[in-house]
């Protein structure tokens, strides 16, 4: 059982929301999904591999009969699942430092949310609403989001050069090879083990 | 924010003394009562942060304690456990986190760091070797008189003197001493590039609480600090690391790689760190050093990486860019404001001229000290995530070429452009240019806190 | 379509866990126990079945009480959460679920047999319907890379390492020789099989010792 696998951390959090507030949040997520520039900050915080929010209305927990009792809840629930690189502290510190407004927009509708700034109370809240992962799999434990993006750039450049390589004269090749190096030079970081978590 | 009471803060925290000689004494308390008396006797001699408007003193004196030392002084248990976890454990127990394995492992450290016997660090800085000896004699007399502590070890350090003048060069030949942060209320004048980047492109001092406990920090709060507040306030934490430098390996490595690098040896050497040997930043002068920039405080550290996103002027993994990314992560630099450290230190060991016959085994290196309000959030983070790892620098697992614990492996990529004088280049099979020979985490109390320690007046709550 | 982001799909399934007081240990504990020893590397069921970038399984015991003045309330069932980030460019979830059922039936049974209404794998369509009945819509799904499949990602990582090594070892070489070596290198690299998912081992040779924090291998 671990929240961590290789370079990626699986965070799970659940927070209660008064049902009328859920509709506001749905609208916010709708706008976030359709207005791309709002996602820029998330993209630029380049340590998230995948993240999702799932709203579970209080009457919509899966109910399959077979004697399973129906849930009777007052609150809707907001589930959050993140797959990020780095440590728990690093992750929350970064969000609190640069995405405070965005975080507040999403979580202010959850009961007892203290705000994402300052960071100490925010960390206490997350620690309280976080629950642990039983099984965590990643197809690329040795690579971070940065490594993946870099790798795709290298693959594209390599494919382009290797297709033409044999048909060029040596001098043309030397020129093309230099261009290739310039394209990939910022994307060659080695992959491997993650630093020890602290 | 309230004005700092400079008479309450130890001078070593607020100022780089810029004195050319230093001696660091490592002491062990034998008896708590005698140790307290010793502290009381040392108090009148401790250099505070009061400004030297009348000229520099002949010598200065400052003290700090490990967790083992505070425990030996019989602070209440509840007070002791309110200190941060990393400080309680001490640097040796954090070796895995810091990447202090292999050549840097505690088993290879100087003997003084065996066990947890170091309780107190006592630093003498002076204008001359005689100044050091004079202070040392006085301290020795106090040790004798109070029987407060025994001397375990002494470490000397001194800046390189060229033609009788003090320099800030270190053994590899780089000019050191740039880039310490400016803090609100601490520095009289702010140097552009040293504080935090503002949205309009200017630089402002960092929040005082990033250096000193008891003040607002960059996260907009009074950070968690040991209790009682009066013990922690105006104090800070110090990381002490003795870094041996393998000068022979460094020079050999440069010689071996320079022929393949068409930009030349000096430029390759500059690419490792991000500055030419004279201190000129590559971002401002990518082709050749420029003394007019290096010697001008309004320019020598006044730059950002925004126009060099590819790393063609200053490599993405260069030492300076790793430890102070400025705006390289976007968001106007806000992600790095809580990861800054104040660096103090001096080289130790004999300086060797270029071309001189030398060996890695010779005793030389730098005494590195980092001051910060939170060792784990500041120093440990930089060491683990930015020196021994490269993801934030878009360099995967690649380590800092100068300080990284390479073990003969790894690589350093120099990004370049089409010109022959600035080609892309990869250095491989990196030796350890720097090896850790020991150190620990210390708490540097305020003068008030020292008085409380001396008089055993520290409350649990 | 909020579950979809480019060519990747955010699958969120909440399966109610059987609540049988006579079961010892209880079904949720049995799932936990099984998951604790299930391999997370190359031998993971998600490495063997196709299409999974990242996936997690979490036994959710209950909702969390955040403290007064919020009300304390409890779930009547425990739920097994399956959160998976998968290749699914056309939104056709059935192919992925089918892949699980056909490639790793033993593991799927071992996990979901503890859940309410699990029909077994005798009838694949019934299994797919069952999983879809437990599917929650992902309200907002973010992906750093949303336009590359899993095999493409694994191949790219292999290429990245090989290219770095090639560049480092061929500095200062004259053009004709460099070209010949590159052509040979490209042929070799293109012939390399795509690395196995879930593996920490490097490519074209050396194996690394795994030393990450607390996973199951």
Cα B325 to Cα B335: distance, rounded to the nearest angstrom: 9
pLDDT-derived band of residue B69, with 50, 70 and 90 as boundaries? very high
ipTM field: 0.94
Of C60, C139, C176, the CB nearest to A53: C139
Chain C residues lying within 8 Å of A4, measured CB to CB: 212-215
pLDDT score at A32: 86
* Angle, CA B200 vertex, CA B197 and CA B203 arms, to 5°: 30
Mean pLDDT (whole number) for B79-104: 97
For residue range C155-185, list pLDDT tens digits in order. Answer: 999 999 999 999 999 999 999 999 999 999 9
Has residue B80 got a pLDDT over 70? yes
Going by C-alpha positions, the residue among B187, B200, B217 that lies closest to residue B297 is B187
pLDDT-derived band of residue C209, with 50, 70 and 90 as boundaries? very low
For chain A, the maximum distance between any two Cα atoms, rounded to a whole number of angstroms, is 77
Find the closest chain B residue to A93 by CA distance: B335
Has residue B298 got a pLDDT over 50? yes
C167 CB near a chain B CB, below 8 Å?
yes
Query: Is C172's CB within 8 Å of B425's CB?
Result: no
Instruction: Cite the DSSP H helix spans in B295-410.
Output: 319-323, 381
DSSP state, residue C39? -
Query: Is C56's CB within 8 Å of A62's CB?
Result: no
For residue range B240-265, list pLDDT tens digits in order. Answer: 999 999 999 999 999 999 999 999 99
Query: Is B395's CB within 8 Å of A189's CB?
Result: yes
Has residue B116 got a pLDDT over 80? yes
Cα B35 to Cα B40: distance, rounded to the nearest angstrom: 9
pLDDT-derived band of residue C205, with 50, 70 and 90 as boundaries? very low
Instruction: List all residues 6 or more positions away from B368 whose beta carbon is below 8 Å from its beta carbon.
Output: B239, B240, B241, B242, B243, B343, B345
Chain C residues lying within 8 Å of B260, measured CB to CB: 171-172
Mapped onto helix, strand or coil, the DSSP state of residue A44 is: helix
pLDDT score at B332: 87
Mean pLDDT (whole number) for B19-38: 97
Cα B246 to Cα B362: distance, rounded to the nearest angstrom: 8
Instruction: Cite the DSSP H helix spans in B43-98.
Output: 67-72, 77-80, 85-89, 95-98
Which of B84, B333, B374, B394 best probes binding to A when mutated, by most A CB atoms within 10 angstroms? Answer: B394
Residue pair A82/A11 in contact by the 8 Å Cβ criterion: yes
Q: How close B262 comes to chain C (CA, Å)? A: 9
Of C52, C143, C178, the CB nearest to A137: C52
Domain residue spans of chain B? 11-241+441-454, 246-339+372-438
Of A86, A120, A189, the CB nearest to B221: A120
Q: Is the Cα dihedral C164, C167, C170, C176 positive or negative?
A: positive
> Average pLDDT of chain B?
95
Q: Which range is least confidently modeled, B124-138, C11-25, C189-203?
A: C189-203
Mean pLDDT (whole number) for C67-95: 95
Mapped onto helix, strand or coil, the DSSP state of residue B436 is: strand
Q: How close A118 comes to chain B (CA, Å)? A: 6
pLDDT-derived band of residue B2, with 50, 70 and 90 as boundaries? low
Mean pLDDT (whole number) for B310-331: 96
- Dihedral-angle region of residue A115 (phi above 0 means left; psi in -120 to 50 means alpha; beta otherwise): left
Instruction: Cite the DSSP H helix spans in chain A.
Output: 19-34, 40-44, 88-98, 100-107, 119-129, 145-164, 170-184
Token pair in block for residue B353: 């001229």
Cα B113 to Cα C189: distance, rounded to the nearest angstrom: 49
Ordered DSSP codes for C157-217: HHHHHHHHHHHHHTTT--HHHHHHHHHHHHHHHHHSPPPPTT----SSSPPPPP--SS---
Has residue B218 got a pLDDT over 60? yes
Q: Residue B300 to residues A138, B284, B290, B304: CA-CA distances in angstroms?
A: 45, 9, 10, 12
If interface means Cβ-Cβ distance under 8 Å, which residues of chain B face chain A?
Answer: 86, 94, 96-97, 99, 218-221, 223-224, 310-311, 316, 330-331, 334-335, 337-338, 376-377, 380-381, 384-385, 388-391, 394-398, 410-411, 413, 415-418, 424, 426
Q: Which residues of chain A have pLDDT under 70?
A: 1
Has residue C206 got a pLDDT over 60? no
Q: Residue B299 to residues A10, B2, B302, B450: CA-CA distances in angstroms?
A: 44, 30, 5, 39
Find the closest chain A residue to C172 by CA distance: A174
* Angle, CA B315 vertex, CA B313 and CA B320 arms, to 5°: 100
The continuous run of DSSP H or E covering B196 comes out as strand B196-197
Chain B residues lying within 8 Å of C164, measured CB to CB: 411, 426
Has residue C202 got a pLDDT over 80? no
Cα C40 to Cα C45: distance, rounded to the nearest angstrom: 8
Q: How close B360 comes to chain C (CA, Å)? A: 26
The continuous run of DSSP H or E covering B123 comes out as strand B120-126
Query: Is C168's CB within 8 Å of B260's CB?
Result: no
pTM of the shown model: 0.95
Q: Which long-range contacts (CB under 8 A, 24 or more apart) does B90-98 make?
A: B90/B66, B90/B116, B90/B440, B90/B441, B91/B239, B91/B241, B91/B439, B91/B440, B91/B441, B92/B440, B94/A198, B94/B380, B96/A196, B97/A195, B97/A196, B97/A198, B97/B380, B97/B384, B98/B380, B98/B383, B98/B384, B98/B388
Which residues lie across from B151 on neighbouring strands? B27
DSSP state, residue C5? E
Q: Residue B162 to residues B158, B165, B419: CA-CA distances in angstroms?
A: 12, 5, 36
């Amino acid at each position: 059982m671990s929240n961590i696998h290789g370079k990626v951390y699986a965070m799970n959090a659940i927070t209660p929301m008064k049902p009328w507030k859920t509709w506001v949040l749905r609208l916010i997520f709708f706008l976030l999904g359709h207005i791309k520039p709002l996602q820029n900050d998330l993209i630029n915080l380049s340590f998230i591999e995948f993240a999702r929010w799932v709203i579970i209305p209080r009457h919509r927990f899966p109910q399959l009969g077979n004697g399973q009792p129906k849930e009777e809840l007052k609150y809707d629930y907001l589930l959050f699942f993140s797959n990020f690189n780095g440590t728990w502290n690093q992750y929350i510190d970064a969000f609190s430092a640069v995405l405070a407004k965005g975080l507040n927009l999403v979580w202010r509708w959850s009961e007892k949310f203290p705000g994402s700034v300052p960071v100490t109370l925010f960390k206490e809240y997350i620690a309280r609403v976080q629950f642990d992962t039983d099984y965590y799999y990643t197809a690329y434990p040795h690579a971070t989001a940065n490594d993946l993006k870099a790798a795709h750039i290298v693959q594209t450049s390599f494919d382009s050069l290797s297709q033409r390589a044999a048909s060029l004269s040596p001098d043309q090749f030397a020129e093309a090879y230099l261009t290739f190096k310039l394209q990939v030079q910022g994307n060659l970081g080695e992959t491997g083990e993650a630093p020890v978590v602290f | 924010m309230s004005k700092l009471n400079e008479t309450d803060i130890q001078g070593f925290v607020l100022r780089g003394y810029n004195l050319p000689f230093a001696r660091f004494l490592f002491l062990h308390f034998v008896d708590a009562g005698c140790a307290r008396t010793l502290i009381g006797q040392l108090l009148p001699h401790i250099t505070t942060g009061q400004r030297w408007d009348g000229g520099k003193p002949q010598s200065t004196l400052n003290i700090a304690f490990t967790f083992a030392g505070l425990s030996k002084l019989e602070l209440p248990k509840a007070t002791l456990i309110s200190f941060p976890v990393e400080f309680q454990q001490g640097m040796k127990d954090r070796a895995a986190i810091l990447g202090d394995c292999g050549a840097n492992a505690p088993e290879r450290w100087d003997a003084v760091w065996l066990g947890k016997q170091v309780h107190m660090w006592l630093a003498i800085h002076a204008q001359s070797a005689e100044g050091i000896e004079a202070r040392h004699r006085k301290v020795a007399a106090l040790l004798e008189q109070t029987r407060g502590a025994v001397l375990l070890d002494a470490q000397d350090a001194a800046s390189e003197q060229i033609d009788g003048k003090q320099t800030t060069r270190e053994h590899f030949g780089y000019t050191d001493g740039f880039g310490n942060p400016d803090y609100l209320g601490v520095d009289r004048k702010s140097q552009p590039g040293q504080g935090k980047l503002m949205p309009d492109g200017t630089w402002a001092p960092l929040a005082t609480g990033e250096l000193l406990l008891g003040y607002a920090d960059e996260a907009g709060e009074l950070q968690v600090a040991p209790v009682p507040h009066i013990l922690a306030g105006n104090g800070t934490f110090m990381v002490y690391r003795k870094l041996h430098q393998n000068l022979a390996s460094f020079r050999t490595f440069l010689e071996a790689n320079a022929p393949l690098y068409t930009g030349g040896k000096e430029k390759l050497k500059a690419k490792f760190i991000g500055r030419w040997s004279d201190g000129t930043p590559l971002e401002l002068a990518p082709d050749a050093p420029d003394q007019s920039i290096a010697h001008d405080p309004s320019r020598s550290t006044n730059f950002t990486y925004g126009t060099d996103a590819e790393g063609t002027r200053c490599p993405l993994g260069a030492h300076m860019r790793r430890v102070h990314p400025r705006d390289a992560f976007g968001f106007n630099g806000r992600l790095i404001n809580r990861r800054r450290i104040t660096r103090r230190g001096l080289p130790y060991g004999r300086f060797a001229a270029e071309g001189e016959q030398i060996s890695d085994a010779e005793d030389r290196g730098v005494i590195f000290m980092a001051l910060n309000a939170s060792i784990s959030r500041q120093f440990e983070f930089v060491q683990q995530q930015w020196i021994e790892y490269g993801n934030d620098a878009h360099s995967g697992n690649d380590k800092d070429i100068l300080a990284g614990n390479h073990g003969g492996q790894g690589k350093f990529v120099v990004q370049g452009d089409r010109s022959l004088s600035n080609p892309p280049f990869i250095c491989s099979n990196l030796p350890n240019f720097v090896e850790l020979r020991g150190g620990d985490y210390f708490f540097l109390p305020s003068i008030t806190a020292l008085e409380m320690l001396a008089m055993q007046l520290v409350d649990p709550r | 379509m909020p579950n979809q982001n480019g060519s990747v799909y955010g699958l969120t399934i909440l399966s109610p866990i059987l609540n049988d007081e006579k079961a010892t240990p209880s079904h949720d504990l049995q799932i936990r126990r099984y998951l604790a020893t299930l391999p997370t590397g190359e031998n993971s069921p998600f490495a063997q079945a196709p299409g999974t970038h990242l996936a997690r399984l979490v036994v959710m015991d209950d909702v969390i009480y955040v403290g007064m003045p919020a009300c304390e309330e409890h779930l009547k069932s425990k739920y097994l959460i399956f959160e998976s980030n998968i290749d699914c460019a056309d939104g056709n979830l059935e192919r992925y679920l089918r892949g699980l059922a056909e490639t790793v039936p033993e593991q799927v049974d071992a996990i979901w047999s503890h859940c309410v209404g699990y029909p077994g794998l005798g009838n694949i369509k019934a299994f797919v319907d069952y999983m879809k009945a437990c599917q929650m819509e992902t309200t907002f799904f973010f992906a750093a890379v949303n336009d590359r499949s899993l095999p493409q990602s694994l191949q790219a990582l292999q290429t990245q390492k090989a290219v770095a090594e090639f560049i480092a070892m061929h500095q200062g070489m004259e053009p004709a020789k460099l070209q010949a070596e590159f052509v040979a290198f490209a042929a070799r690299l293109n012939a390399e099989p795509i690395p196995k998912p879930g593996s920490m081992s490097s490519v074209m040779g050396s194996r690394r010792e795994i030393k990450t924090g607390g996973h199951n291998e």
